[in-house]
Chain A
Amino acid sequence: MSRTGSLRRSFLPRLSPALPLYLFTLVFVLGPLVYMLALSFMHREGAWGVAAEFTLRNYQRIGIPEFAGTFVQSILLSLISTVMVIILGYPFGYFMARLDKRWRSRVMLLLIIPFWTSSLMRLYGWIIMFRANGPLDILLMGLHITREPMRLLYSYPAVVTGMIYALLPFMIYPVYASAEKLDRELVEAARDLGASPIRAFLTVSLPLTMPGLFSGVVLTFVPSMGLFFIADILGGNKVVLVGNLIHEQLMKAHDWPFAAALSVVLMVMTSIFIYLYRRLSRTLGGSGELEGLV
């Protein structure tokens, strides 16, 4: 009697304010996940129905080279995009932190403004840019750099450009956040002790901004696995990523169980990636959290 009483006293009051949140998570996060997991072990029936019989067939089908290839293709594109985003975004974020206050907020505003339009709209902007005889062609031909229209649209480089464009801010912000916290005096101390600028950067600034770079990598690599519409729009549907395959299985093939299995595998892969990130981040002395955003 007294035990249940104390339990109620200690447990319920703590639980109750957050109860709606727990319920929300249960219904809208856990529920769909369980549904998806269950669906992935069923099989399709008729044109688009689902038969509730246990099967491993969907997971076996993922092993077929064509379908497994979409995972390879996705990881490859994500890797290429992430590396490009590091090359462009790291210096951007790093030097942005060194601007004076007024310029810093101006640059930040310029980074945010494009987000006020729909991402699809911005992608269509790239289509106009890359189109045969579009602005880019006119410029390059006007400068006598190229002689005839380049066929940029619906190509792999176009997809990579779109990915970089969509992901760049997610690298710049975390890098900026950790570069801003960087104690400039440490760099000056290194310089005073005779380190060259490059050596001072490599031994002081880079390790201290590593957490920002790391979370930037997570924030670009993980979502890039799901940005299938960029491959659709700028790649002319020819670069088949896991996301494209899932979309197609849902919308065109009406094979929901296979789409669910693909999603489960994709989620497991992403989770492993985040787990590795946290392990690596902890061994390097970080908190394992996402610097700059969490």
Chain B
Amino acid sequence: MGSYIFKRLIVLIPVLLGMTIIVFSIIHAIPGDPADTILGEKATEQSKQALREQLGLDRPWLEQYFAYLGDLLTGDLGSSIRTKEPISQEIGPYLAATMELTVASMLFAIVIGVNAGIISAWRHNSWFDYICMIIALVGVSMPIFWLGLMEQWIFANKLHWLPSIGRVNVREPLETVTGFYVIDAIISGQTAQLWTVIKHLILPSVALGTIPMAVIARMTRSSMLEVMQSDYIRTAKAKGLSQFYVVYRHGLKNAFIPVLTVIGLQTGALLGGAVLTETIFAWPGVGRYIYEAISNRDYPVIQSGILIIAIIFVVINLLVDLLYALFDPRIQYK
């Protein structure tokens, strides 16, 4: 197991290096003078020159790249052109917001998706199965943007059940300690605040979690169907174990590896969808951070934001691979 983890980590190095090259190339792919593009038409020549120096645009490409890499290794992500603040300081609260939303979405997707998949497989060809699979099919093809706006329109505007935007009621702000509002509300011991925070999480996490939920449901269903036909399930049933026990204990454990793969991939894919969800629900996360940076041509922020998302993606994949090994000790890295 130890050597497996080690080998798996070694492979990350070229992957991460490759990412830095791509991310670094972004600023050089802009047509025209980046300083012109970034500062816009109304900037003076002086500030353009200062920016060129700040970004090191006057130096050779390779030299710039190694300087960038050196900065990255020391944790220096550069400064935002727009806010003039160091990105490494600025990005903290955004990351916390995105993580909270991602966790909530995946919880929704996994709990609903896995269970719907299991029940569909269990009650194969029943009306429940058909309905679930129709919902899953629609869910996969639903544009997040549209879904989000529809949710707002129905649950906020028409029914007034849930808030449509933001993380908390701004009239009664929450004391932030960790940046994870659910945790902050629990720490401060305010049940009312905790409820408000959860209510704010519902619509965006459903919007963001719908596609993964649908994909997970379909994968769980087909994987379970296969497993349920194997001999040991028949044996278990013959032993007179309860159906619930057979399905969740024996069936799910063996059907879970492909589901886990899908969960890993979907969590990564979620980060792309987060940009849209965070924009619609005015959720101050990394997606919003990058979205605003793109509208303002804040290239250092775009670079760092994408790099961070890519790193999270890689880390999730790593975790999934490690979990495989945990679930099935026969898996080894070759």
> Is B truly associated with A?
no
